[in-house]
Structure formats: C-alpha cells, structure tokens
Chain A
Amino acid sequence: MILTNTTNYFSQFIAYFSDTIGWGMGGQILAYVLIAIVYLIFFALAGLYLVYLERRVAAFFQLRLGPNRVGPWGLMQTIADALKLLSKEIFGTDRKDKLLYHTAYYLVIVAALISLSVIPFSNGIAAYDINIGVFFISAVSSVGILGLLIGGWGSNNKYGVLGGMRSGLQMISYELSSGLAILTIVLMAGSLQLSEIIHQQQAGWFLWRGHIPALIAFVIFVIAGTAESNRTPFDLPEGEAELGAGYHTEYSGMGFAWFFLAEFINMFIISAVGVTLFLGGWLAPFGITDGLGMPWLWGFIWFFIKVGLMIFLLMWFRWTFPRLRIDQLLTLEWKYLLPIGLVNIILMAVLVYYHLVF
C-alpha cells in the first residue's frame, strides 16, 4: 500500500472551526490555541514519564526496583516530584542578573516545544509540517544553546558560567556531526520535509536502503545526539564532581524543573528525529499493520514503540560508558566524528549518483 496524498489532520481541524462551524478568524485562533494546549499537555506528560522511565531503567541496570510505592508500579512518583518542585521556595544568588536568570529557562523550553511541533507523530499528524523540517529543528535547537549560556551567566556563579560555556562548546561542536549525519539521509530522500522523508521510506527504511553510509551516519547521529542532549557519557556541563551542577547550579524549584524537563524533551526529539530519518517514522515494519484499518492509530503505536526503543538505547549508554574528559570530548568530535562524517557524506553522494542504494 503506497500512501502518497497525505491529509494533514491539523489543517482539517482548523478548517473545521473556521469554515464548517463558521467562526472565521476567531475559530481559527481557537483551533490554534486548542492544538497548542494539546502539545503542552503532551510536553508535560512526556517529560514526567521519561523521568520515571529513566529511574526505572537505571534501577533495572543496577539490580534495584526503582520508584515503586506511589501509585501502581510507582507511576505517580514523578507527578509527586513535580508537585514538590512547584511548591518549593525559589531562591538564588544575591547579585544575579534577574532578567537573564529568568529568560534562560524560557528560551530552553520554547526551543524544545517548537521542535516538537514539526515532528510527524503519525500519518498527517504534525502541527507544522514545514517544507524544511529537519533544517528547522537544527536551527531552533541552537536557540536552546543560548538559553544554557544565558542561564549560566545570569546566575552569577563561577560554576554556572563554566558549565554554560562547556555546554555551549559541546553543543556547537556536536551539532556539526549530527548535521552531517542528517544531510547524508537528506541526500537519499531529496527532501527536507519530515513527512516526505517518511513517505519515501515505504520501500524500505533508509537504514537498510543506504546500507554502509547510512549505518555509519546512524551511529554518528546517535553519538552526536547523546552529546547534544548533554547526557552521560557527555554530561560534563553538569559534572557533579567538578562543577556542582553546571549551568543550573543556582536554579531551584520550577526554574530547575524547566531545565530538567527540557533536557528530557530534547532526548525525545533526538530519538524522534533519528526514528524519522533512519527507521521509517510511523511506518509499520514490512507494512504488517497496513490492512487493519485506523491507519493513524497504528502510526502512533509504531512511532512510540520505535522512539521508546531509541530512548532505551540512550538510557542504556548512560549506565554503560564512563564520563569523558573535556579534551577527550573535543578529540572525539573534531578528530574522529567530523572527518568520518565528511568522508561518509561523499561516499553517500557517490552511491546515490550511481544508484547503488537500494
């Protein structure tokens, strides 16, 4: 079954309010607001349950149980944590730059939320299916870097400044490698639009169709993605032993919680982009659920299964590899990943030119 003509359910939803009910401009705005609220709820729930998942996975790797008392299987644990953070007193350093201190977490969280709007969750379910999707995500994520830099500076703390500078350095460096890995796949797809990239994978996922260069690009993307989301083994910006907590040393209560949530949402976004580019997005493997009806529901199910596996992979890294030193981190990027990525993209261009990809 070849799906070509996608209907975007979101534009139908907006058209329903503005034309079918006949509320015109007001209906349109109401529809936008409703979509935004749905995304915000998803944002909060995904953030909370990724934290829960992280703790359970960590416990699994260390032969413990993890949170298991609050609610069934401890499912309410992170909600209780969030309520605790909400009610905590907010205090920081004395002579902080108040404007920068409070702008920082908004920048980080808005960047994460905007990236989320581009990702296709299922067939025709993407709030902003822009024709430069992949590029848009990498452009918006650079706003998040500034959030960390500003937060580190604004809190008037030397560990904050050092952590902010380190994370800026790390994210700029690894953005190059993940960009090259993304470009390798864009060469095959011939499009930057995420839904179009998924539609091209109906003949087979790009990970298999691009064989050697796509496999190399996938490995580079996963390493660079781990580094970009500041996760272990690349979590130097908040290395406890050296920097306290890095850029969010001086944040407490909800200020800290925003950074924490945005970090987990960034992990979700990186997994979702990886799944979309390499693993066929919401497409079922070998099309096994194509004839069963309700295509959008199956799309959701497969998308979240794949993203869950990617997230599990990232959490697996955390309990497998020791933390790198800052010079090792930069050596890995500039002396290994970047040259490999550059050669890889040329290899992919040659393969695509001679039709050697499947």
Chain B
Amino acid sequence: MERIIFYLLAIFIVVFALLSVTTKKLYRAAIYLLFVLLSISGIYFLLEYNFMGAVQLSVYVGGIMVILIYAIMMTDKIEGPLRTIPTTWKIVPIIVTVATAATAIYAIVTNSGIQKENVASVTTVDQVGEKLLSYDSGGFVLPFEVISVLLLAVMIGAIVIAKAKKLVDQQKNIKL
C-alpha cells in the first residue's frame, strides 16, 4: 500500500510541478505550487518523518505560500498572457536548471543502492532540539545562529521600511 501511495504522491508532484511552470495564469501557478508542496509533505509523512512533514506544512504552505499569494496580488498583470522576457534573460535560468537537474540525476544514479536504515523510525522533538544546539560534529548551532542573525536583520529592515516616512519627516524638521 505504501508503494501505491508513494506513486500517487510522485505523480501529483510531477504533474502539478509541470502545470505550475506552464500555466498562463499567475495565481493558478501559485496554487499548483501549493499542491506540489502539500504532496512533498505527504512523502515526509509516508517516511514517518512527522516533524519534517509538519515543518514543511507550516513553513512552506503556511508561510511562504501565503506570502507568495500576497506578493502576486501586488503584481500588475495577474490575469491574461504574461509579459514576454528577452531571450538573453533566459540564458542564466537555463544554465541553472540544467546544472541542478544534472546534479540531482547524478546523485540518484550513483547512490541508487541505498536501503532505508532501520534506526529508531520516529524522530522525537528532543533529538531535533539537541542537534540544533549541539556544537559537536554534526551539530547545527552555527547555521542556527546565522539564521537568527538573518531574521533579526530582516525584522530591523521591516521596521525601517515601515517607519521610513516618519524618519524622513523628522530629519527635515531637524534641518529647519
């Protein structure tokens, strides 16, 4: 039964990923991407990696997709044919896509014999937390701290943007 569910999810991912890049409607592209992300979280749940599945749901579906939809609502052409971009702009994306696909295919072909390890199948939150804050080998404390600094910078940036008009007004008053 797991095999059937896996193939169903895989077909979902492939079909909706293709639809999301070929559709002419911007809002629908976002929704197809939403289905891709939901199916990927389904694969995590199938692997009994529940924590990762829930993170996928809350970060990608609840966070990034909502932001993406708000961003799409602010673009000028949501419906109808998209603006065509110059051919020269397409070169870099094509190179990046081909390189990524080649890397993924190479990794799959060279490592195709790996079996699922029969370690304790359910990862608890304690284990995730300890790994996140450990500075031994295999610990994630440095990425964790870097992300914290990044988030702080983003928050300060958001406050500055939100208060920009007020700050400019204050400076004008000082000059006068």
Contacts and interface: CB of A to CB of B under 8 A. Distances in A.
Nearest to B59: A139
A145 B27 contact: no
Contact of A138 (B1, B38, B58, B124): B58
Interface in A142-162: 142-143, 145-146, 149-150, 153, 161
Contacts of A28: 1
A16 interface: no
Interface in B39-57: 50-51, 54-55, 57
A136 B1 contact: no
A99 B31 CA distance: 10
A149 B61 CA distance: 12
B25 interface: yes
B62 A130 contact: no
A1 B173 CA distance: 71
B65 A146 contact: yes
B42 to A, nearest CB: 11
Interface string B59-71: 0011101100110
A132 B1 contact: no
A139 B73 contact: no
B28 A139 contact: no
Given A97-B27, A100-B31, A136-B50, A142 B61 contact: yes
Main secondary structure of the interface of A (DSSP, over half): helix
A135 interface: yes
Contacts of B124: 131
A244 B58 CA distance: 30
Contact of A146 (B51, B58, B69): B69
Contacts of B34: 146
B69 A149 contact: yes
Contacts of A161: 73
B125 interface: yes
A162 B54 CA distance: 29
Interface in B140-176: none
B122 interface: yes
Q: Which of the listed residues B34, B50, B65 has the most CB atoms from chain A within 10 Å of its own CB?
A: B50
B28 A99 contact: yes
A132 B106 CA distance: 35
Nearest to A104: B31
Interface in B99-133: 122, 124-125
Main secondary structure of the interface of B (DSSP, over half): helix
B54 A149 contact: no
Nearest to B62: A142
A140 B69 contact: no
A294 to B, nearest CB: 31
A180 B27 CA distance: 32
A143 B73 contact: no
A140 B38 CA distance: 10
Contacts of A175: 62
Contacts of B51: 132, 135
A168 B62 contact: no
A100 B54 contact: no
Contacts of B62: 139, 142-143, 145-146, 172, 175
B66 A172 contact: yes
A191 B129 CA distance: 12
A31 interface: no
Contacts of A29: 1
Contacts of A150: 31, 69
> What are the 7 A-B residue pairs with the smallest beta carbon separation, nearest first?
A142-B62, A139-B58, A139-B57, A139-B54, A136-B54, A135-B54, A132-B50
5 contacts: A132-B125, A135-B54, A146-B34, A153-B27, A191-B125
Interface of A: 25, 28-29, 97, 99-100, 103, 130-132, 135-136, 138-140, 142-143, 145-146, 149-150, 153, 161, 165, 168, 172, 175, 191-192
Interface of B: 1, 25, 27-28, 31, 34, 38, 50-51, 54-55, 57-58, 61-63, 65-66, 69-70, 73, 122, 124-125
Given A29-B1, A145-B66, 9 more contacts: A25-B1, A99-B31, A130-B50, A136-B54, A139-B55, A139-B57, A161-B73, A168-B66, A175-B62
